[in-house]
Amino acid sequence: MRQHRRSLKNKPDVQQVLSPFGVTLGQLAERIGGELYGDAACVVTGVATLQGAQPGDITFLANPRYRKYLASTRASAVILSPKDKADCATAAVVVANPYVGYARVAALLYADRERAPVAGTHPTACVSADSRVHESSSIGPCCVIEADVNIAANVSIGPGCFIGKGAVIGEGSRFLANVTLCHGVHIGKRALIHPGAVIGSDGFGIANDNGVWIKVPQLGSVTIGDDVEIGANTTIDRGALEDTVIEDGVKLDNQIQVAHNVRIGAHTAIAGCVGIAGSAHIGRRCTVGGGVGISGHLEIADDVHITGMSFVTKSIKQPGVYSSGIPADTNQQWHKNTVRFRQLDEMARRLKALEDMLKQVQKQA
Say if CB 122 and CB 143 are below 8 A apart: yes
d(CA 106, CA 58): 9
Establish if 145 belongs to a structural domain. Answer: yes
Please give the order of strands across the beta sheet that includes 46-47: 35-37, 91-94, 77-80, 57-60, 46-47
| Inside any domain, residue 114 | no
3 part of a folded domain: no
Whether residues 45 and 127 fall in one domain: no
**Positive or negative: CA dihedral 102, 63, 273, 302:** negative
Whether residue 132 lies inside any domain: the answer is yes
Residue where a domain stops, chosen among 64, 80, 109: 109
What CA–CA distance (Å, rounded) separates 179 from 199? 8
Q: Domain range spanning residue 299?
A: 120-322
pLDDT at 295: 97
Q: Based on the domain organization, do 260 and 277 belong to the same domain?
A: yes
Determine the pLDDT at residue 9: 38
- Within 10 angstroms of residue 105's Cβ, the number of other Cβ atoms is 26
Q: Are residues 234 and 344 in the same domain?
A: no
pLDDT of residue 325: 82
**Same domain (yes/no): 282, 342:** no
SS3 215: strand
Q: Alpha-carbon dihedral of residues 196, 199, 203, 204, nearest 10 degrees?
A: 10
Q: Report the SS3 class of residue 239.
A: coil
β-bridge mates for residue 180, sequence order: 162, 198
Distance CA 189, CA 225 (A): 7
What pLDDT does 189 receive?
98
Q: Per residue of the chain (365 residues), give pLDDT as tens.
A: 333 333 333 443 433 344 344 479 999 999 999 999 999 999 998 999 999 999 999 999 999 999 999 999 999 999 999 999 988 989 999 999 999 999 999 988 887 666 667 899 999 999 999 999 999 999 999 999 999 999 999 999 999 999 999 999 999 999 999 999 999 999 999 999 999 999 999 999 999 999 999 999 999 999 999 999 999 999 999 999 999 999 999 999 999 999 999 999 999 999 999 999 999 999 999 999 999 999 999 999 999 999 999 999 999 999 999 999 888 899 999 999 989 989 999 999 999 999 999 999 888 87
Answer yes or no: do 52 and 125 share one domain. Answer: no
Does 157 lie in the same domain as 269?
yes
| Strands of 81-134, DSSP E | 91-94, 120-121, 126-127, 132-133
Decide if 101 contacts 108 (C-beta within 8 A).
no
Buried b (16+ CB within 10 A) or exposed e, 272-302: bbbebbbbbbbbbebbbbbebbbbeebebbe
Active site residues: 260
The predicted pLDDT at position 87 comes to 87
User: Which of residues 81, 109, 137 is at a domain's end?
Assistant: 109
Question: How crowded is residue 246: how many other Cβ atoms within 10 Å of its Cβ?
Answer: 27
Is residue 230 included in any domain, yes or no?
Answer: yes
CA distance 283 to 5: 31
Residues 142 and 239 in one domain: yes
Determine if the peptide bond prior to 20 is cis (ω within 30°).
yes
User: Residue 193 domain-assigned?
Assistant: yes
Q: Are residues 228 and 280 in the same domain?
A: yes
Which helix (H) or strand (E) segment is 204 a member of?
Answer: none
Output the CA–CA distances (angstroms, integers) from residue 285 to 247, 259, 278, 319, in the order listed: 11, 20, 20, 10
The amino acid that residue 17 corresponds to is V
Non-local (6+) Cβ contacts of 98 within 8 A are 60, 61, 62, 79, 80, 81
Q: Residue 340 to residues 78, 343, 347: CA-CA distances in angstroms?
A: 50, 5, 9
Q: How many CB atoms lie within 10 A of CB 71?
A: 11
Q: Does residue 157 lie in a domain region?
A: yes
Contact 202, 221 (CB under 8 A): no
Distance from C-alpha of 65 to C-alpha of 44, rounded to nearest angstrom: 25
Distance of alpha carbon 41 from alpha carbon 114, whole angstroms: 27
Q: Output the domain CATH number for residue 51.
A: 3.40.1390.10
Burial 125-149 (b: 16+ CB within 10 A, else e): bebeeebebeeebbbbebbbbbeeb
Q: What is the CATH number of the domain that holds 253?
A: 2.160.10.10
Are 23 and 144 members of one domain? no
Same domain for 356 and 302? no
Residue 88 resides in a domain: yes
Cα distance between residue 13 and residue 181, in whole Å: 36
Same domain flag for 142 and 273: yes
Give the total number of structural domains in the chain.
3
CA-CA-CA-CA torsion for 322, 328, 332, 338, nearest 10 degrees? Answer: 30
Q: Which one, of 190, 185, 154, lies nearest residue 168 by Cα? A: 185
62 and 192: one domain?
A: no
Which residue, 77, 109, 141, sits at the end of a domain? 109
